[in-house]
Amino acid sequence: MSTNLETEEHKALRAAVAALGRRHGRGYDRESLWSEAAKLGYLGVNLPEEYGGGGGGIAELSLVLEELGAAGCPLLMMVVSPAICGTVISRFGTDAQKREWLPGLADGTRTMAFGITEPDAGSNSHRITTTARKDGADWLLTGRKVFISGVDIADATLIVGRTEDARTGNLKPCLFIVPRDAEGFSRRQIDMELNAAEKQFELVLDDVRLPADALVGDEDAGLLQLFAGLNPERVMTAAFAIGMGRHALAQAIAYARERTVWKAPIGAHQAIAHPLAQAHIDLELARLMMQKAAHLYDAGDDVGAGEAANMAKYAAGEACVKAVDQAVHTLGGNGLTREFGLASLITAARVARIAPVSREMILNYVSHQTLGLPKSY
């Protein structure tokens, strides 16, 4: 599925990652794939070269995740660790924070989770209640987070809290690096009916004391910094969804070519062939928007990237769900067997419609931001 819009370097990267993915396949071991991808330089391809990264952007990182997903072995923590946390620290972190975190994030020896979602706030980041207050030179963080991926394997979590603006008294978002073993920082695994290598957690921060240098970037630039991390998250979620859709579709196509019920393979029948062709078209269209979003983001156009990243994530989520559904349907009863591994994707595909922001909230965003329609809330 390579495209002429891509440079020769991108095509070569795509082919190399696809080969790595094929070696690991659907029954992959997350840790061994993570360390091999790291050694080959794929995990930190978007991080600055001076800190051991590849010096590329989200365009390259999303390509890596898409190809791993297409091989059936997506690494969800790529969305969080290098894409969100790595981006935020490389754009806004202090020199000390960059030195401490970026080399490890780039070579895969350290990972960082990202904590924004709260039990009562949902998609409304203005309702975040995790608060940070000054205590001498330190910060004290108190609050709760929910559906936070991979906290058990991450060295730290980048937590979105809010501090009081001394001038206005209003709360403004701020980002803090919270080490896994910080006192007062506890986690509880959420029992999910989702078959994924990474676990989901609820977090409690009970007066977690952090030094002054745990704050990432400028106390007054919180919202800008937050969205600098959220746009890559949406692009990477699109890559995750497109890869999964491609993986399901490839299995369905192979099956439709071979499976013969009457005289011809079932793929000769338009009732089977056309929906698979439509699924392929939808995935290709979603990928084009993902490439546009990554290009705008890497070019420094945060506003343009915001619109495109939301659209890409929406389109990819819809295309993924349809592709998985059609793949399962093409295989019939076999589509629900463990042998083919498609049934677990039915649940996994929904994730791209729900997280990190629901499709309805994206439609809201496009309604007001792009179309200029009045807000409903």
Mean pLDDT value across residues 24-32: 93
Sequence-distant (6+) residues with CB within 8 A of 76 are: 149, 150, 196, 197, 198, 240
- Peptide bond before residue 265 is cis, with ω within 30 degrees of 0: no
In the structure encoding, which two tokens stand for residue 263, read together? 């005289």
In the structure encoding, which two tokens stand for residue 90, read together? 């490389």
pLDDT score, position 121 = 72
What is the CATH superfamily name and number for domain 223-370?
Butyryl-CoA Dehydrogenase, subunit A, domain 3 (1.20.140.10)
pLDDT score, position 210 = 97
More confident residue, 68 or 121: 68
The CATH number that domain 113-220 falls under is: 2.40.110.10
Separation of alpha carbons 313 and 293, rounded Å: 10
Indicate if the pLDDT at residue 220 is higher than 70.
no
* Position 368, amino acid: H
> Whose CA is closest to 215, among 170, 144, 158, 150?
158
pLDDT score, position 227 = 75
Least confident of 192-196, 199-203, 253-257: 192-196
The pLDDT > 90 percentage for the chain reads 85
Q: Domain locations in the chain?
A: 8-111, 113-220, 223-370
Separation of alpha carbons 193 and 347, rounded Å: 8
Indicate if the pLDDT at residue 122 is higher than 70.
no
Give per-residue pLDDT as tens, 336-351: 999 999 999 999 999 9
Mean pLDDT of the residues in the chain: 93
Separation of alpha carbons 360 and 313, rounded Å: 12
- 9 burial (CB, 10 Å; 0-12 / 13-18 / 19+) is exposed
Q: How confident is the model at residue 183 (pLDDT cuts 50, 70, 90)?
A: very high
Q: How confident is the model at residue 3 (pLDDT cuts 50, 70, 90)?
A: low
Fold of the domain spanning 8-111? Butyryl-Coa Dehydrogenase, subunit A; domain 1 (1.10.540)
More confident residue, 19 or 26: 19
> Whose CA is closest to 97, among 216, 206, 231?
216
Instruction: Give Cα separations from 285 to 26, 36, 280, 310 (angstroms).
Output: 25, 31, 9, 14
Cα-Cα-Cα-Cα torsion 256, 260, 261, 267, nearest 10 degrees, comes to 30
pLDDT score, position 42 = 97
pLDDT score, position 166 = 64
Separation of alpha carbons 229 and 287, rounded Å: 20
Give per-residue pLDDT as tens, 126-172: 678 899 999 999 999 999 999 999 999 999 999 999 887 666 767 78
| 312 sits in which H/E element | helix 302-331
> Whose CA is closest to 189, among 218, 160, 151, 161?
151
Instruction: Give the predicted TM-score (pTM) of the model.
Output: 0.95
Strands (E) in 219-354, as ranges, are: none
Separation of alpha carbons 189 and 196, rounded Å: 13
